[in-house]
Amino acid sequence: MKSKLGIFIITTLFLIFIFTYSNTCFAANSLNFNETFQQRGDCFILWGIPFCDGGAINGKFTINSKISLSGIDINKFDRETKFIFEIGGLSFETKLGSDWKYSPGKTAFNISYVDRLEESYKPVKYITINLKWNSKLLTVKITGITPDFISPIAADAYIGGVSGKFNDSTIGYFTLGDELYAGFNINYTATVSTKTVKSKNGNETVISKVTIKGIGTETSQDYRNIFQEKRALKKKFISSIYE
């Protein structure tokens, strides 16, 4: 009886080891994000004329990702190594050297960027990037807000629309240095609540609250050119407005 029990325990432990090992070695790159986007129906009077502005924004986001570093020589990382990501409408670029604590050989990067809000000129921390890595895996955590000068990931597509739940998709990628590229196809669910509010002056404006949760699956497709084309079209459109 003891012999059979011993064999059972050994077999169980062996299967657990094999399962854990296989998941560690062959786990796919992963990504998930959460985003909220809240408009405020702020009303004000300019030269005696009342205005209700549904564009006042309180948005925030969190992005988490794990990316395989198989085949990547992490010893090549230095202070000039660029970290770039584009997820939906949100994009950002920095260098490992932007973190004054980072030096070649270290395996972590942490930085926050601060700017001033246009409406209040108050300084705010609008994005924080945390990276850590070893020879096998890069772990990414990005948190931030979306004031006027930062594009949301996907929430702006639902502002002023109807209330409800919507399933949609977008794309994204990360790069670290010249060697690492990780692309993702991202499916998400957007929960939208839209209502009309009235100011004390009797003016009405439509405001929206959007909550999004998304999960990405890795792809070998290189999306960098697609994002580059989108930026060029956006720049052309903005230029045409001021012509």
3-state secondary structure at position 85: strand
In the chain, domain spans: 28-241
Residue 34: closest CA among 66, 57, 65, 63? 63
Are residues 141 and 64 in contact, defined by beta-carbon separation less than 8 angstroms? yes
123-133 and 108-116 beta bridge pairing:
antiparallel
Q: Is the pLDDT of residue 53 over 60?
A: no
Please provide residue 200's backbone torsions phi and psi, each rounded to the nearest 5 degrees.
-65, -25
CB under 8 Å to 231, separation ≥6 — which residues?
none
Residue 212, Cα to own-chain centre: how many angstroms? 11
Model confidence at 206, pLDDT cuts 50, 70, 90, reads: confident
Q: Is the pLDDT of residue 21 over 80?
A: no
- Cα–Cα distance measured from residue 24 to residue 26, given in angstroms and rounded to the nearest whole number: 6
Please state the rounded mean pLDDT for residues 232-243. Answer: 72
List, for residues 152-185, the tens digit of each pLDDT value. 999 988 887 889 999 999 999 999 999 999 999 9
For the record, the structure tokens of 139 come out as 């772990």
Q: Is the pLDDT of residue 8 over 60?
A: no
Q: Is the pLDDT of residue 18 over 50?
A: no
- Cα–Cα distance measured from residue 22 to residue 123, given in angstroms and rounded to the nearest whole number: 47
